[in-house]
Amino acid sequence: MLLNLPKAVKPIGVRFLSGARAACVGVDVYPSHFASLLKECKAILLHMSHLMPDVFVGNALIDAYGKCGLMENAVKVFNMMEFKDVVSWNAMVAGYSQSGNFKAAFELFKNIRKENIPLDVVTWTAIIAGYSQRGCSHEALNVFRQMIFSGSLPNCVTIISVLSACASLGAFSQGMEIHAYSLKNCLLTLDNDFGGEDEDLMVYNALIDMYSKCRSFKAARSIFDDIPLEERNVVTWTVMIGGHAQYGDSNDALKLFVEMISEPYGVAPNAYTISCILMACAHLAAIRIGKQIHAYVLCHHRYDLSAYFVANCLIDMYSKCGDVDTDRHVFDSMSQKSAISWTSMMIGYGMHGRGSEALDIFDKMRKAGFVPDDITFLVVLYACSYCGMVDQGLSYFDSMSADYGLTPRAEHYACAIDLLARFGRLDKAWKTVKDMPMEPTAVVWVALLSACRVHSNVELAEHALNKLVEMNAENDGSYTLISNIYATAGRWKDVARIRHLMKKSGIKKRPGCSWVHGQKGTASFFVGDRSHPLSPQIYALLESLIDRIKAMGYVPETNFALHDVDEEEKNNLLVEHSEKLALAYGLLTTFPGCPIRITKNLRVCGDCHSAFTYISKIVDHEIVVRDPSRFHHFKNEYNHVLRGGAMWIVDQEKGKGKM
DNA sequence: CTAGGGTTAG
């Protein structure tokens, strides 16, 4: 019995346990690692613990077991303890709450009252934190309300948990209320005196995170900017960087990252920071920076433990930057892959039109023991859809319910309908829409509408657009599509009517914008952009290129241009498309042999696609274009046309409107 | 000894 041990041993027991916990929980070790360490603790403690454990050791044990999800053991210890204090109860509540057993947590909650132990702020906070960490944000906010009504005063820890719940809900006004509440109740000092007050900084970090997840960057940024450089810790930087990367401008995220690691107050990024910055690189297709980050991760061993997350982000970054082979390299080097690793790899292959490799990954994933779920199937269907594998796609669609007992959701139907419609089977697509067991979603109608653009079906297009308008889901993209469909059918009055409608309702066509990484940094171009200093050279180069490819058989596809201008004007408008300008800039500023990677905010236009195919035959560069949904590779030959024409149809698909 | 901030695919 510990109570009878020599005095010196008791503190060692406590220290050992809490030290082990701190070492494991505080430093990003998986609970399973801690569990094995705990076994050793148990060996020391339990051979004498058929008798009652001392309250301190008992509490530490409850905590430790709770953290490992071993609540049965925690209960045993709890019941064995003759003297329990409020900490014992709180540790139990926290254990249940964190393992998601809220029923048991509340049961204890009631018992605490029965036993006349005062409910304290830690008990409340443990419940709130449990809800918040498990994504039950509404419940967390409800318990917080009850807490306030009951007269308990929250402290910083409570506020941090509640702010985190608001952040994941995007609950701006409630978050702001809590901000105000903390100021009013002196939970936050106003004087910007951060002098070593760790808790204050944590609240500020939670506030920055909350405001940026509510897309209120001004508020987030002003809190961030008010924190002196030397006081910001790695979380302060990470929430601000992550906020910009996920909800704002990724360029800002990159700028902040550079500031973060700059002397004299440089802060070392951790795995969270790296994940966020890789996300920003993925959004911007900033492959050079992404590669530098990759190198940084390889050089610093401290990322090993959490390489799991970082590697998944690397896969995503490389595939969105157009380098799917490096992607595969990272993937293969992972010793432990999660379902996310596998799906990311499939998405990567799919986006690059390498469908059979995507399906190969799907096979290997199943062989590795992962049972496909509805998300896996969604990804497989996307891959089939991107790569024009109609029959395989449909058979997977059938297989998911027949062989795996999964019920297709509206998204799955949307994929299947997209697949059918784009490849000319509009009738079957339409039948599938009518047979859907649920209301078709906007995505379904957009898929149909886009297919009508390719297959010139005015009637079905009108129907789809009406549905979109009914559900308030129409946007510049859908109007542009229908307008193009009318134009192709020669129905100019309808074109004019749509234009007028767009003007009246204030819907503006988003301008196309492309950017490219030249030798001297990134340059971006809008349609008809002449603001770049190299513009004269860019336009001159384009003109000569177009002349040369015309001689090779290129015919400008003027139906991608506006319809109320004459033919010559149409040709000029086509030349000014942002992706052509970006290509010319890339050619002017990149060494021969280097790939030119262009990113565009809207779908690549059909004429540009055709022009690039010819141009890639006469320049010594591979051209890789990324648009919002996929990659187009052009490499010295008619690759994509040879691929059964599938990619070609795919490319015309959603017109120019969809982002 | 109990409660607390930030990350990945669709």
- The 10s digit of each residue's pLDDT in A307-334 is 789 999 999 999 999 999 999 999 999 9
User: How many CA within 13 A on the CB side of residue A552?
Assistant: 17
Q: Which residue has the higher pLDDT, A574 or A470?
A: A470
Tell me, what's the pLDDT at A658? 28
With beta carbons less than 8 A apart as the criterion, state whether A224 and A217 touch. Answer: no
- How distant is C1' of B8 from CA of A504, in Å? 42
Question: Could you tell me the distance in Å between the CA of residue A188 and the C1' of nucleotide B5?
Answer: 14
Question: Distance between CA A379 and CA A249 in Å, rounded?
Answer: 27
CB-based burial, A579-612: b 16+ in 10 Å, e otherwise: bbbbbbbbbebbeeeebbbbbbbbbbbbbbbbbb
Whole-angstrom distance, CA of residue A307 vs CA of residue A322? 22
The pLDDT score that the predictor gives to residue A194 is 58
Structural contact between residues A17 and A74, judged by C-beta atoms closer than 8 angstroms: no
Say if residues A657 and A509 touch (Cβ distance below 8 Å): yes
Q: How far apart are CA A276 and CA A313, in angstroms?
A: 8
Amino acid A213 CA to nucleotide B2 C1' distance, rounded Å: 30
For residue range A95-133, what is the model confidence (pLDDT) as tens digits?
999 999 999 999 998 898 888 887 889 999 999 999 999
pLDDT-derived band at A562 (thresholds 50, 70, 90) equals low
Is the backbone peptide bond immediately before A53 cis, with ω within 30 degrees of 0? no
Strand nucleotide closest to residue A133 (CA to C1'): B4
Residue A399, pLDDT above cutoff 90: yes
pLDDT reported for residue A129: 97
Q: Are A269 and A234 in contact (CB under 8 A)?
A: yes
pLDDT in tens, A583-606: 999 999 988 888 899 999 998 888
Q: What percent of chain A has pLDDT over 70?
A: 85
Could you tell me where the DSSP H helices lie in A99-136?
102-114, 121-133
Q: Measured CA to C1', what is the nucleotide nearest A243?
A: B6
Query: Are the C-beta atoms of residues A207 and A246 closer than 8 Å to each other?
Result: no
| Closest residue (Cα, C1') to B7 | A272
Q: Which nucleotide is nearest to A124 (CA to C1')?
A: B3
Residue A54: band (very low, low, confident or very high) from pLDDT cuts 50, 70, 90? confident
Q: Which residue is nearest to nucleotide B4 (CA to C1')?
A: A157
Tell me the nt nearest to A316, Cα to C1': B9
Highest mean pLDDT among A71-75, A298-302, A423-427: A71-75
Distance A521 CA to B6 C1' (A): 30
State the average pLDDT for chain A: 85
The band of A481, judged by pLDDT with boundaries at 50, 70 and 90, is confident
CA nearest to A606, candidates A653, A568, A562, A644: A653
Task: List the beta bridge partners of residue A634.
Answer: A623
Alpha carbons A644 and A154: distance in angstroms, whole number: 65
